[in-house]
């Protein structure tokens, strides 16, 4: 992949204002892409990231919306397309992941997780598919290693990410004849503000069990995402890439 391999292409990164999503947006900007940074509530962080990408010579705009609300998910895709006159790549890094033990799971917990992680995946894909180039369009969603190996109390979140794995496989079959690839990345524990408590409580245990003997960083995942979005990955579709340093 060359330093400007996404020159002139337009990318929407939902959940792009923080953590892994911000690293993905930053990486696409450095590779020459026009980046729409999707966010739900982190307006200041999204605009600061856009300014950072712009200062580095890139182009970025902030796009607000809640992927759990179908109309807003569709509008985010439309605004990203309108901002740059095209849309080549959709990266859906938006997600929520509160954990609860079985005895405390209720309808609100299930709906909050499934509306964002599953319904959002469906609605974003549906909205982006007609706008992506055919052939050459790229869609990358986020699953989790917990889809394959759930922890106690993570059951609902893990199930939502297992649904993403299945959706990616199914959508890849539907969109394959148009030359559009659909894949997912399933990270393990990555060092972000959202995992601070996990790393504080179990960091040494995770480190000891990880063959690469370090905690994953957002840039580790960003590299996998940009590969899946690149021309080099044109023969990869319907797949979920586990990026966890060999832990799973």
Residues known to be catalytic? 157
What is the DSSP-derived secondary structure letter of residue 40?
Answer: S
Residue 175: inside a domain: yes
Q: Regarding predicted confidence, which is higher, 216 or 38?
A: 38
Q: How many helices (H) and strands (E) does the chain have?
A: 8, 7
Which pLDDT band, with edges at 50, 70 and 90, does 1 fall under?
Answer: low
Residue 134: is its pLDDT beyond 90? yes
Residue 77: inside a domain: yes
Residue 2: inside a domain: no
Write the DSSP assignment of 53-83 as a string of letters: HHHTT-EEEEEE--TTSHHHHHHHHHHHHHH
Contact 226, 20 (CB under 8 A): no
Which pLDDT band, with edges at 50, 70 and 90, does 6 fall under?
Answer: very high
Query: Which of 72-76, 90-94, 193-197, 241-245 is predicted with the least confidence, judged by mean pLDDT?
Result: 193-197
Q: Which two tokens stand for residue 201?
A: 């409580």
Residue 5: inside a domain: no
Residue 29: is its pLDDT beyond 90? yes
Return the exposure string of 188-227: e unless at least 16 CB atoms fall within 10 Å of the residue's CB, then b: bbbbbeebeeebeeeeeebbeebeeeebbebebbbebbbb
pLDDT digits (tens, 9 = 90+) for 182-196: 999 999 988 887 777
Residue 147 lies in domain: 10-189+220-243
Residue 43: inside a domain: yes
Which pLDDT band, with edges at 50, 70 and 90, does 111 fall under?
Answer: very high
Q: What is the model's pLDDT at position 204?
A: 87
Contact 99, 50 (CB under 8 A): no
Residue 62: inside a domain: yes
Q: In this structure, what CATH number is given to the domain that contains residue 142?
A: 3.40.50.720
Q: Regarding predicted confidence, which is higher, 78 or 2?
A: 78
Contact 222, 23 (CB under 8 A): yes
Query: Which of 42-51, 116-125, 197-206 is predicted with the least confidence, judged by mean pLDDT?
Result: 197-206
Number of domains observed in the structure of the chain: 1
Q: Residue 186: which of 211, 213, 157, 214 has the closest Cα?
A: 157
Please give the mean pLDDT across all residues of the chain.
95
Strands (E), the chain: 10-14, 34-39, 59-64, 89-92, 138-142, 181-187, 240-243
Residue 26: inside a domain: yes
């Amino acid at each position: 992949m060359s330093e400007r391999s996404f020159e002139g292409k337009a990318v929407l990164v939902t959940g792009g204002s923080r953590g892994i999503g911000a690293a993905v947006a930053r990486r696409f900007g450095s590779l020459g892409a026009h980046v729409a940074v999707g966010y739900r509530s982190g307006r200041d962080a999204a605009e600061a990231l856009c300014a950072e990408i712009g200062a580095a010579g890139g182009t970025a705009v902030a796009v607000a919306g809640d992927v759990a609300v179908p109309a807003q998910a569709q509008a985010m895709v439309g605004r990203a397309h309108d901002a740059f006159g095209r849309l080549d790549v959709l990266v859906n890094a938006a997600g929520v992941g509160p954990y609860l033990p079985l005895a405390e799971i209720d309808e609100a917990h299930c709906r909050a997780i499934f509306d964002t992680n599953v319904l959002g995946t469906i609605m974003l894909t549906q909205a982006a598919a007609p706008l992506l180039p055919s052939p050459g369009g790229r869609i990358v969603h986020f699953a989790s290693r917990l889809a394959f190996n759930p922890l106690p109390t993570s059951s609902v979140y893990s199930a939502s990410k297992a649904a993403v794995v299945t959706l990616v496989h199914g959508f890849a079959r539907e969109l394959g004849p148009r030359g559009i690839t659909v894949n997912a990345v399933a990270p393990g524990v990555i060092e972000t503000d959202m995992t601070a408590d996990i790393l504080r409580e179990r960091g040494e245990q995770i480190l000891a069990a990880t063959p690469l003997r370090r905690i994953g960083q957002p840039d580790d995942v960003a590299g996998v995402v940009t590969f899946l979005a690149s021309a080099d990955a044109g023969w990869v579709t319907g797949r979920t890439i586990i990026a966890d340093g060999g832990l799973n």
